[in-house]
Structure formats: structure tokens, C-alpha cells
Chains A and B, each alone.
Chain A
């Protein structure tokens, strides 16, 4: 339990009403997007500024109390789930856009500005490319912590490709500025190391992002196929033709059914898969490539196609895709989202394996994925009201992860390891690899107070660092030599 004196101290820092200890109030924060894990914090604190964050973190350090930072709580790997008897630092009040420097294509924000707010602040001439489907609510701080991706990553890259500077509060309360608006500042790329560190290295309190100009033209197309394999082959052909579309997404039949129930975007319900390909660039380039895409759809047996006629139709096509997770509720009371990645060329065989597993376990698995990146999101549909189903759904999801790693892939493409995939870290990494990761963590947070139970499969310590090698006096004198 947290000492009453410490709670009083938090209240002096942030104000009485911003320090929550009431059991009912804390409920709100016991879980994140990984809803079947729950653990209320002992205290939830809502600081108003970077300096209040620093003071709170410092106080936790002095009392050796672990803490977890939280943005919007939409994370799907349990990253923001509190530690028992720890503090939850809720950043929602740090929500200001501090600077829009369009001349230099930079935006400086506090962590709880939403992803969508960035593009809004710089549009319509510019935009912020990483666009997770949760963008209307998920925060830049959360995106930075998870290195979030989105629909336009195949061409544009991920959050990590757009963060140029960070101010972070380390777990001992030290404030460090890394990078800035400028590129290639001398020193280690600690911005690169921090992005994707899942809240375990510190709290980002100020974030500098790069934005880019909107392309001259977009051409958004959908091809409908009888099978997901045909859609997959079309993706392979598009990439082999040397195209780098802005987005390449596939939804299977079950996903289309779910998302249509909600968005009524006009996807036909009688097809096996829909492949969305969005080209962008100059008008001429889009036109030239558009014909190639249509030809590839046809060659792979497309039963129909759709081309967005205007910006509204483009938005509608994407609305359906972005709603895929949330809409799953229409076809299944509970679902479990996976996030594994495979080399794209192994798509057909891995999908076959997922299908086999789905039959074996007797659960429906919907497939919706970032096809260009090979990032699958199998959604395992189950009913938690039936005893044992959650466990079996998790087991099935785990088997899918293993199949993807065996195909040369990764356990997570964008949702992070968090609590959810800790146990799979050893499927991908050796003990030596994990030890190397731990070195980074220890350099940032030797006490391991920041989000302590996440990412690493087993707890490990930060030993004292031996000092630099010093010569023995005899060696120094040239009397002895070491071999």
C-alpha cells in the first residue's frame, strides 16, 4: 500500500482533486484496450504539466514506488495496465499543441494530444502519416511508446520515422532533452531507442514531430476476390511491379460483414476478401499506376472493383477499414486481437495455417491486415461467458503467434509486447538478446520503477556496472602483461 504521507505529497504537487484513491474512481483505470486484464492502481494521479510529472516521478523514486504512465488507454497489449500497489500517472491534462512550425514541417506537442489532432493542425496542405485506426482518441505519447503504425505505413513508415525530438522524464526525476527539430544531432539516437519502449524508459512530456506535404493526388481502389489467397497474390504482384502504394489493406469475409453492419460503406457481403490499394503522388504517376493496379486485380480473378470518385468516397472506404476492430462486436461478443507479422511472401501458407488452427479450436478467426507490411491482425472470436473459452482463445492466438514467428516474422508489428506477448519474447529472442535489451533499460531506469512488469518475459535485475578497465599497477609499470 502507498503511504498516506506520500499521497499527501502527491496532492500538494497536483492538487487534491487530481489525486484519486477512491476504489470506484480507480476502476476507470484498471484496464486498457486489452480488456480481459485488470488491476487497479493504488493511486491515480493527473498532473497538469511536465514539471508536475517530474515531481511525481521524483517522489515515487524517493519512496521506491513503481508507476505506469497512461495516455488514452487504447493500447492493445496491456501496456497501460497499472502495477499492483503502484501509481498510475494519467497524462490526459498534458494536451496542448505547443508549436506548429510549418516552415520546417515540425509540430511540438504535449503527450496527450491525439494523433488525429496533428493532421488537423497542419492540414489540408500537410499531414502526419502514421495513422492508427484509433487515431481519434489515441495519444501521441501512447503512439511514441508503442511505435504505432497505421494504414499508410507501407510507404510512409511508422511513428519512429516521424519523431525528431523528445523531452523525457527519467525514473529518477531527471529531465532529458533528446534530439530536437534538427536532424542528426551528435550523440546516440536515444530518440530512436525511446520510441517503442512501451513506457519502460521514462515519460515523454514534450514531443517534436515531422509532418509532410499532402500528395497532389490519391487514387483509392478496392478489388473484391473470392479468396483471401487471390487478394494476397494481387499484393505480391503489385509489389513485384515496383509499386509502393501509400496503403495496401486486406479484409476477409467476416471482417467485411462486421464492418458493414456498422459503417454501411457499401462493401459487398458475398465476397471472400476485399483488397484496398491507395496510390498517392503526382497526378500523372497515380494515373500511370492506376491502370497497372486494375490489371493486376483482373489477372488475379477479381469479381469486382471500386474506385473512389471523390474525397467522400475515399473517406468511406477507409472508415470501414478503420472500424474493423470496433465493429467486431457485431459478429462476436468478445474478440482477441493479434498483431503478428510475417514476411509477405509467406502470406498464403500462414493464412492456411490460421484457418487450420481456427477449425481445430472451434473459434472463428477474422482476418484484417496491413498486407503490404505483412502485419496480420487475426481477431479470435470467442464468448467469455462460456467457461474456459477465454483461455482457449488465448491459446489459439498464441499458436498463431508461433506460426508467424516460425515463418520468419515477429510477435508484434505495432501493438507492442506489453503484458500480452511477454511470454512470446523467447519465441523470437535468445537469452543474450534479452540481456542486451536489459542493458538499455538499466541505462535509463536502473531501479526499474517505470512500467516494471512489461515487455521482458521474466524479471531481471540491473547489476552494478563495473567501472572501466584499469591497468594493474604492475601492468602499468610494464612489469606484467595480461593476456
Chain B
């Protein structure tokens, strides 16, 4: 095969077929790239084109929805949007709301593999917190299962968590078992505005430490002004919202209630992505929110974040690659030692910066994990932290 030929695309439709594709790639030393909805295929360190693309598009069955047990078994290629639609019929959901990317194409396998999250994380956690079991295919053809189908289980090692956020570098996620939650019957959102990062930080902190328990607690900053947003859900969400409105006002924010709030939260999570600029995810601390907001302001970025969790996504608008690179470096300098991971960015930018931050910090243990699960080293090689 000529080196510049388009990679072959494999579309297995069963766990066994998936295992066979993986085995063949491993045995032949063909570099494999796993693809779900393709909405995040540009994330990670840029690499040479793979020899084989493994697409999960035909692993797209909702295998089980156990309504009374609040669990669902989904093949990796099921688009999250489609799963949510099916579950909504019984007023249930996978409590994950990351941006779904182009054409709402994000698959559950891709969301789990990248550990991507949205505003619901405040209350329900990340994919790692909601995954109960996993079936994976490894590059020697092994198809193995870990975890279970019940919401509580400690038998065997938690490979579901190991594969969550592993960016497909250990193997293919064939199937996942997810814990479900009831959809709150009603929601209401409280908003508080200010152009003072310290006031935003104080307000967010007051809400995060309050006993009122919002579903979502976000911050937003753009064009020199910011907002703290708290969403309440339940049968009686208004009371908590009213209490939090007072907290926001006490922190000096201009506060108000917003009823029909779905669109607002959709827009909020959409800002974690960028088609022409760059997005940097900051793993910070809640107490440092004002510093993170200021850094965004200094480099002319907009920001959305989980205010109570210390996670922020900074979006830099379209610019020359060189400018984006220096802005990213500036953010990293200002926010050291917080990890700042580059997600979306033009390839010229991703080639120039260390996408994952300081690769030297990767413990040899991580490499050993990679080598044990993917001995031939063909599974999404080179895209992950430390060149894994």
C-alpha cells in the first residue's frame, strides 16, 4: 500500500467483528484510528494518518434500557442525542450534556473516551462517575468486560474508569453500561451579571457552598462582562432559585430569573467548542476562578466554566496560528501550575504547542498501562499525553 493512500475504514457491527479488526491491526502492526461521530477527531496531538480507521458507526444499538433499574446498555457508536431521545420517553436521561459537535454527532463511546462533560457535571459528575460497566476490544483480539449492569459493584478492577478519558489509546469501547437519572420535571435558572471577576468568583463560591444544591452552576465571560448561572431542577425548584438569587445579589451581582432555559444552557455548552479558533480547557480550582477569568480577559478569550468545580473552557477567536500559539502560552504562563489542555485548534497550532501541557510530568506507570493493554502500540498511537 502506498504511504499516502487513504486509510482503509473498517465498520464492524458486532463485538466479535470489532475484536477481529483490532486483532488484525495488532498482528499486522497497522496503526489504527478509532472514530465515533468524528466530532472530536481533531483533539489530541497531531499524528501521521493512520493505516486503518475503525468506525463505530455500525455498533449503534441501544442494547437495553432497564427503566426500573435506571440503567442502559449502549453500544459505543450510539449517538448520545439518540440515546437521550429514547430515554426521554420514560423521563430518564444519561446525565451527561457535553457539546455534541457537528450534526449532534457525538457518540456515547466518544464522550466516554474523551471524558467530555457539560453543565450537568456539577450535580451528576463526569462519564467516570456514571459508567457502570464496559466491554472493550484490545489489539490482540481480546473482547473483555469489566464492571456490571447494576448501579453498585466492586468486583474486579475498574477498567471502565481506566478506559474513560483514555482517548482510545488502550482499546476500542464496544459497549458501555450507564447509570441513568430521572429528568427533573421542572427547571429554573438564576442569572447574575457583573463585569468584576472577583464579584463573579465570590458569587459562584457562595452558591457552591450553599445548601441549596443546584443541578448546574456555571460561569460565563465574554466581551468584558460575566455571568454566574445556577440551574435548579425538581418538583419545587423555585425556592432554591429564590434563595440563590439573594446570594448573587449579596455578592454584588445584578440577578434575575429565567424560566424557559434550555436554549440558554445549550448555548453555554456549545461555547466549549470552536470551529475556527482555539479552545483551552483549564483544570483549575474553584477558589481561583477570578484569576482564570482575568487571564481570559487579558488574552481576549471568552470563557465558560463549571464554577463550583474549577473547570473552565477558554475560547480564543479566529487568528493567525502564531497569535493563537502565543495566547495559549500566555494562558499557561499565567495559570501555572494548572493543567491547560488544548482541545479544538487548527492543526498548525496543535503542531506548535504541547497539546496536553507538560508531557514530562507523565509517570512511567502510565506508559506501562498503555503497553500492557496495547502491546503492539497501534491503538490511536501518539495522540495522547506524553506521546502515548
Chain A contacts to B: CB under 8 angstroms? 101-105, 125-126, 146-147, 149, 153-154, 157-158, 160-161, 170, 174, 176-178, 181-190, 192-193, 195-197, 213-216, 236, 239-240, 242-244, 281-285, 287-289, 341-345, 370, 373-375, 408-417, 421, 425, 428-430, 432-437, 439-444, 455, 465-471, 481-483
B129-A157 in contact (CB<8A):
yes
Knowing that A182-B338, A436-B138, A482-B28 touch, tell me 19 more A-B residue pairs with CB under 8 angstroms: A104-B286, A104-B287, A184-B281, A189-B162, A190-B162, A196-B154, A196-B158, A197-B157, A243-B182, A370-B152, A410-B154, A413-B154, A416-B154, A417-B154, A417-B156, A437-B146, A441-B157, A443-B369, A469-B376
Knowing A157-B129, A160-B161, A184-B115, the reply to whether A421 touches B29 (Cβ < 8 A) is no
B152-A153 in contact (CB<8A):
yes
Q: How far is the CA of A242 from the CA of B385 in the complex (A)?
A: 41
Please provide the 8 A-B residue pairs with the shortest distance between their CB atoms, ordered closest to farther.
A192-B161, A284-B239, A469-B29, A436-B144, A242-B182, A468-B377, A410-B153, A216-B211
Give the shortest distance, in Å, between A27 (CB) and chain B (any CB): 29
A193, A281, A282, A430: the one within 8 Å of B145 (CB): A430
- Which of B157, B182, B208 gathers the greatest number of chain A CB atoms within 10 Å? B157
Knowing A242-B91, A414-B154, the reply to whether A186 touches B373 (Cβ < 8 A) is no
B68-A240 in contact (CB<8A):
yes
Check B105 for interface membership: any CB of A closer than 8 A. no
Q: List 24 A-B contacts (CB under 8 A).
A: A103-B285, A104-B310, A146-B154, A147-B154, A147-B158, A157-B125, A182-B285, A184-B115, A189-B128, A190-B162, A190-B369, A192-B158, A192-B162, A236-B68, A285-B239, A287-B236, A341-B152, A343-B66, A373-B152, A414-B152, A437-B159, A469-B376, A469-B378, A470-B29
Check B341 for interface membership: any CB of A closer than 8 A. yes
Q: How far is the CA of A439 from the CA of B146 in the complex (A)?
A: 13
Give the shortest distance, in Å, between B134 (CB) and chain A (any CB): 10
- Which of A157, A342, A443, A483 gathers the greatest number of chain B CB atoms within 10 Å? A443
List residues of chain B with CB within 8 A of the CB of A288: 234-236
Give the shortest distance, in Å, between A74 (CB) and chain B (any CB): 15
Check B290 for interface membership: any CB of A closer than 8 A. no
Smallest Cβ-Cβ distance to B133: which chain A residue:
A410
B29-A482 in contact (CB<8A):
yes
Q: How far is the CA of A455 from the CA of B144 in the complex (A)?
A: 17
A188-B162 in contact (CB<8A):
yes
B234, B338, B362: the one within 8 Å of A285 (CB): B234
Knowing A242-B182, A244-B182, A285-B240, the reply to whether A425 touches B372 (Cβ < 8 A) is no
Our count of residue pairs bridging A and B at CB distance below 8 angstroms stands at 278
Smallest Cβ-Cβ distance to A421: which chain B residue:
B155
Give the shortest distance, in Å, between B142 (CB) and chain A (any CB): 5
B68-A239 in contact (CB<8A):
yes
A153, A213, A287, A373: the one within 8 Å of B210 (CB): A213
List residues of chain B with CB within 8 A of the CB of A281: 213, 234, 240
B115, B153, B239: the one within 8 Å of A341 (CB): B153
List residues of chain B with CB within 8 A of the CB of A433: 144-146, 156
List residues of chain A with CB within 8 A of the CB of B159: 193, 436-437, 440
A146, A243, A410: the one within 8 Å of B150 (CB): A410
List residues of chain A with CB within 8 A of the CB of B371: 443, 465, 468
Check B293 for interface membership: any CB of A closer than 8 A. no
Knowing A195-B158, A411-B155, A468-B375, the reply to whether A428 touches B148 (Cβ < 8 A) is yes
Knowing A188-B366, A455-B156, the reply to whether A282 touches B149 (Cβ < 8 A) is no
B142-A189 in contact (CB<8A):
no
A432-B369 in contact (CB<8A):
no
Q: How far is the CA of A281 from the CA of B356 in the complex (A)?
A: 38
List residues of chain B with CB within 8 A of the CB of A435: 142, 144
Knowing A103-B287, A283-B239, the reply to whether A343 touches B150 (Cβ < 8 A) is yes
Knowing A161-B125, A214-B211, A432-B142, the reply to whether A104 touches B152 (Cβ < 8 A) is no
Smallest Cβ-Cβ distance to A292: which chain B residue:
B235
Knowing A429-B156, A465-B372, the reply to whether A374 touches B339 (Cβ < 8 A) is no
A182-B156 in contact (CB<8A):
no
List residues of chain A with CB within 8 A of the CB of B136: 436
A432-B143 in contact (CB<8A):
yes
B66, B181, B311, B372: the one within 8 Å of A244 (CB): B181
List residues of chain B with CB within 8 A of the CB of A192: 128, 158, 161-162, 164
Q: How far is the CA of A373 from the CA of B365 in the complex (A)?
A: 34
B284-A182 in contact (CB<8A):
yes
B152-A410 in contact (CB<8A):
yes
B155-A103 in contact (CB<8A):
no
B150-A409 in contact (CB<8A):
yes
Q: How far is the CA of A160 from the CA of B126 in the complex (A)?
A: 12
Give the shortest distance, in Å, between A451 (CB) and chain B (any CB): 13
- Which of A101, A236, A469 gathers the greatest number of chain B CB atoms within 10 Å? A469
B153-A413 in contact (CB<8A):
yes
Give the shortest distance, in Å, between B10 (CB) and chain A (any CB): 14
Q: How far is the CA of A158 from the CA of B362 in the complex (A)?
A: 27
